[in-house]
Amino acid sequence: MAIALPTAIVPEPAELSDGLVRLRPYRADDVEPMYLAARESLAEVSPWMAWCHADHGIDDSRRWVQSRESDWKAGEEYSFVVVDATGGAPVGACGLNKFDHINRRANLGYWIRTSETGRGLATAAARLLARWGFERVGLTRIEIVAAVGNFASQRVATKLGAVHEGVLRNRCFLADGPRDAHSYSLIPGDL
């Protein structure tokens, strides 16, 4: 008897909120605010995220925003804009990506613009997204990978309650080459 393998679960786009942050799917009018957030945050984000580099321009932001809907529909990536729940302006982004649908596993990524860090927004956004991933996407494991030296992302993973599983050699490739990275995981019971 053949065993049916799990397939991608593609949920409808949704808005999530906990009173501190609101996560919503990207919209066409996010191009400029997300571009400005990235430019403001170059010094802090570019060492850890290849897309955020000195030549990052408005066209890069436009291509990213325009690709979010098709990646969502394909079940490849569920990306959200992080919005301060009281102000409504975009303050960063988070998403689930690098899906392993057979094993119901995905990666969780996040970033918050420099002027909004230190308020717990990344942790709140990651918690909302992880719950949504378990409840709506049917994930059984969410991984967070943070390069050695990326203390801000490591702090968020720890505050989220993710379990540190070790340091993986040459796990990510950054502007300066391959880097070791800390691996964290969440399973449904962790939240």
Domain range summary for the chain, segments of one domain joined by + = 16-190
pLDDT, position 3? 54
Of 169, 187, 191, the residue nearest 178 (C-alpha): 169
Sheet order of strands, 78-84 included: 16-17, 21-24, 78-84, 90-100, 105-112, 141-147, 177-186, 163-174
pLDDT at 2: 54
* Beta strand residue intervals within the chain, DSSP E: 16-17, 21-24, 78-84, 90-100, 105-112, 141-147, 163-174, 177-186
Handedness of CA 123, 125, 128, 132 (dihedral sign): negative
What is the pLDDT, as a whole number, of residue 79?
96
Counting Cα atoms < 13 Å in the Cβ hemisphere of 41 gives 23
Q: What is the pLDDT of residue 43?
A: 86
Q: Which residues of the chain have pLDDT under 70?
A: 1-8
The string of DSSP codes covering 80-124 is EEEEETTT--EEEEEEEEEEETTTTEEEEEEEE-GGGTTSSHHHH
CATH number of 16-190: 3.40.630.30, 3.40.50.460, 3.30.40.10, 3.40.50.10190? 3.40.630.30
Per the CB < 8 A criterion, the answer to whether 150 and 110 are in contact is no
pLDDT score, position 12: 83
Q: What is the pLDDT of residue 47?
A: 87
Answer whether 83's CB lies under 8 Å from 24's CB. yes
